[in-house]
Chains A and B, each alone.
Chain A
Amino acid sequence: MLPTPPARSPKNTLRWLLIALLTLIVLFTLMALTARERQNTTAVENILHTALYPFQTAAGWMANRMRTTTEAVQELVRMRAENARLRTEVDELRHVQTLNEVMVLENRDLRAELGLRQQAGYHLLAAEVIVRQSSNWFQSVVINRGQRDGVRSKMAVINSRGMVGYIEKVTYTTATVRLLGDRDFQVPVRTDKSGEFGVLKGRGNDEDPVVEFPYNRDAQVEPGHVIVTSGLGTTIPGDLYIGTVTSVYMQDNNLVRSGTVKPGVDLNHLSFVQVVMTEPEVNQGADSP
């Protein structure tokens, strides 16, 4: 039986209450300061991220290998049937590729004739996910690329299935990617068919993001339309595939047409991603993507 602690004096209780109050004020101030997006990370964050980097890389590597092995076994079962289907698809794609090559040449010539600038290509930087979102409220991952690799905040992050998110903050060795399902995620987009401009917003909690068209109440959007980035006013280039509209509705205020978007990427199973290394001058001055 442990001895009962002696009763505290009122003075002592008051001292602890003051400490608790002061701690609360400090923490709430810190929260308020870091609630908005930041361009730079603090020295403490840099040091801790760098210190954690080897452990996170090792743990992430093991987790990825375990997952890859499990998936490889599952894939093997599906592989035979898929192989036959893919052979047919390859033949079809070869035909499409030939057509595309002809069209690219034709497009280049036509753009030259019209005096238009060629669409800027961008360099992609491969990165491995070393830390996954571990909260029910925030959706982000940490990748093993940072300032030393030329990564900067607000760069787009994609994988073979489309846009994953954008760089939220960068340390020397790592970068945090805000995923497009995150509640604070926003990016300007457009529909590929009707060309309607809107904003894609994350909703968190594994729910599909929504696209809002605040500029046109009668936006021509239907389920099945493809959503891509618009490239307007951000470091995120245009035409990055995001997903497909699954439903369209008017918001409660009856002013903004909105739709739910099924993303191309599976945000719960990210292992490798690519950072779109856009040039700084592409930034047109907007303060958010």
Chain B
Amino acid sequence: MRYWALLAILGIAFLLQTTVAGFLTIRGVHPDLLLATVVSFGLLFGPEVGLLGGGLAGFLLDVVYGRYMGLHILILASLGLAVGMVEQRVFKDSLVLPLLAGLVTSLMTQIATLTILAFFGWRVPLVTTMKTLIFPGALYSAMVTALVYSQIHRRLRYLRPDPRGAIHFIRRR
């Protein structure tokens, strides 16, 4: 596994997310490049890479926002781990996979974010937020995930020349 290349992909996704993504807003909904990258990492490289990639992406986002630090680490690391769990049970060549994964994970992460923020006193109109933010955001994420996934999938042989070369510290025993 070429971990430096995975780190570079994550770094580029982070820079694009914090610079260009603001220009790609559709009706107030932002594309989530980091979610797409973490989902792709999980689906293509398994739970360990998903967990670590998600944790790192979340850490970078938390540092940039500086509020509710730990929120993005928790959400993205859990997401990477959960998606990575199904890595060996899915057909990776299908484009339906990232579309579906992007849709479902975006819905889940946004609802989880809202639930956690509700612990800290956030009160949002649920129906309106679902209609204007969560559902459109999930559709947008599905498309972005498909795009990111296909780009990483095309370079799979380069990124993972040895299919056994995963991080095995979690499965050591």
Residues of the A chain whose Cβ atoms lie less than 8 Å from the Cβ of B67? 34-35, 138, 168, 184
Q: In whole angstroms, what is the CA distance A20 to B53 when docked?
A: 17
Contact string, B58-73, partner A, CB cutoff 8 A, digits 1/0? 0011011111111101
Q: Which of A96-104, A115-123, A127-135, A223-231 contacts B (4 or more CB under 8 A)?
A: A127-135
Known contacts A5-B171, A63-B19, A206-B27; A41 and B66 CB within 8 A of each other: yes
**Chain A 191-229 interface residues, beta-carbon cutoff 8 Å to B:** 204-207
Known contacts A131-B18, A135-B65; A31 and B25 CB within 8 A of each other: no
Residues of the B chain whose Cβ atoms lie less than 8 Å from the Cβ of A26? 70
Q: How large is the interface on A (under 10, 10 to 19, 20 to 34, 35 or more residues)?
A: 35 or more
Main secondary structure of the interface of B (DSSP, over half): helix
B61 touches A135 (CB 8 A): yes
A12 part of interface (Cβ distance < 8 Å): yes
Name the distance in Å between B128's Cβ and chain A's nearest Cβ: 8
Q: In whole angstroms, what is the CA distance A34 to B72 when docked?
A: 13
Q: In whole angstroms, what is the CA distance A62 to B122 when docked?
A: 35
Contact string, B130-148, partner A, CB cutoff 8 A, digits 1/0? 0011000100000000000
B86 part of interface (Cβ distance < 8 Å): no
Determine the residue in chain A with the shortest Cβ distance to B88. Answer: A2
B137 touches A34 (CB 8 A): no
A168 touches B66 (CB 8 A): yes
A6 part of interface (Cβ distance < 8 Å): yes
Q: In whole angstroms, what is the CA distance A212 to B35 when docked?
A: 36
Q: Which of A52-60, A86-94, A155-163, A275-283 contacts B (4 or more CB under 8 A)?
A: A52-60
B63 touches A45 (CB 8 A): yes
Residue from B34, B68, B171 whose CB has the most chain A CB atoms within 10 Å: B68
Name the distance in Å between B110's Cβ and chain A's nearest Cβ: 7
A268 part of interface (Cβ distance < 8 Å): yes
The 8 Å CB contact of B15, one of A34, A56, A137, A138, is: A56
Residues of the A chain whose Cβ atoms lie less than 8 Å from the Cβ of B11? 55
B161 part of interface (Cβ distance < 8 Å): no
Q: In whole angstroms, what is the CA distance A210 to B169 when docked?
A: 51
Q: In whole angstroms, what is the CA distance A184 to B60 when docked?
A: 21
B163 touches A48 (CB 8 A): no
Residues of the B chain whose Cβ atoms lie less than 8 Å from the Cβ of A234? none
Name the distance in Å between A118's Cβ and chain B's nearest Cβ: 37
Interface residues of B (CB under 8 A from A): 11, 15-23, 25, 27-30, 32-34, 60-61, 63-71, 73-74, 88, 110, 113-114, 116-117, 120, 122, 124, 129, 132-133, 137, 163-164, 171, 173
Interface residues of A (CB under 8 A from B): 2, 5-6, 8-9, 12, 24, 26-28, 30-35, 38, 41, 44-45, 48-49, 52, 55-56, 59-60, 62-63, 67, 130-138, 140-142, 168-169, 176, 183-184, 204-207, 268-269
4 nearest CB pairs, A to B: A206-B28, A132-B22, A27-B70, A30-B70
